Amino acid sequence: MKNTNLILALAALLLGGTVNAQRNVIERSDDRKDLAVDKAQRERDEKEIAAFNSHLTAIEVAWKGGDANNVNALKNQLVAAMKREIEQSENKAKQDNREIRESNSEIRSDNREIRGDRKDSRHGNDRADDARDKARDKVDRRDDVRDKNDDVRDRNEQVARLARQKNIYETLKAYNFANLGDASASEAGTKKALMNEFLQTMEKDLAETREEVGEDKKELHEDRKETRDDRRERREK
């Protein structure tokens, strides 16, 4: 009976180590994919902002020349760019939701490890080492909770920008510039200002993407640390 219990205990330890190792591989793979996606988005956003700015400069030249036809032609090109940007913003919001689900999964795994640490501390022979494992896993959980909160904040800000982008797009899509007048006082000037506001939402998107790249790199560093910690715990057991 004692031998059976020992075998079951060893099997449980091995299984737990295997599960943790698999979890680390999955998390590292997810974070690498996120980093690749965010780097690609950063490069694309930078190019699109440059192109949008170029169109705004051309509109300003046509506006000063009183060329309403050219202003409308350029505006239509910007509206097409806005539509593409809205589609990308929708995809970014979906990506944010996926990252929130990943963070929730990591937190659940952290909770399982902490429960295992408590069990080890009650039945293990090295209480000091078990206490260190528990403290380390609590730090991992704290980091994952922080990451989730960041993901939720990013998603909410993305959704708010998306709503404003859609509003500007719908306003400008059907608008026809006829009387350019004084850009600071006329209705046309107000509509023109919306183009600059849309650019600001694109720039905020880029700033968020750059921040995401930094967070992705930080999470990969945390993944490597967790893998080293789990390997050490398995050797000690």
**Tens digits of residue pLDDT in 32-51:** 888 888 899 899 999 999 99
pLDDT at 157: 92
Q: For residue 231, what pLDDT band results from cuts at 50, 70 and 90? A: low
The mean pLDDT value for 198-219 works out to: 90
The mean pLDDT value for 58-63 works out to: 93
25-47 burial, b if ≥16 CB within 10 A, otherwise e?
eebbebbeebbebbeebbeebee
30 with 95: CB under 8 angstroms? Answer: no
pLDDT at 9: 47
The mean pLDDT value for 55-69 works out to: 92
Alpha-carbon distance of 93 to 101, in angstroms, equals 13
pLDDT at 151: 86
Check residues 54 and 137 and name the one with the higher pLDDT: 54
Alpha-carbon distance of 14 to 108, in angstroms, equals 20
Alpha-carbon distance of 207 to 107, in angstroms, equals 27
Whole-prediction pTM value? 0.69
Confidence check: pLDDT of 104 > 90: no
SS3 content of the chain, % helix, strand, coil (to 5): 90, 0, 10
pLDDT at 164: 97
* Contacts for 92 with CB less than 8 Å, ≥ 6 apart: 41, 158, 205
Q: How many residues does the chain have?
A: 237
pLDDT at 95: 86
Look up residue 142 and give its two tokens.
């704290």
Q: For residue 199, what pLDDT band results from cuts at 50, 70 and 90? A: very high
pLDDT at 3: 52
Alpha-carbon distance of 9 to 22, in angstroms, equals 20
Mean pLDDT, the chain, whole residue set: 81
Alpha-carbon distance of 137 to 222, in angstroms, equals 12
Most confident segment among 22-26, 198-202, 204-208: 198-202
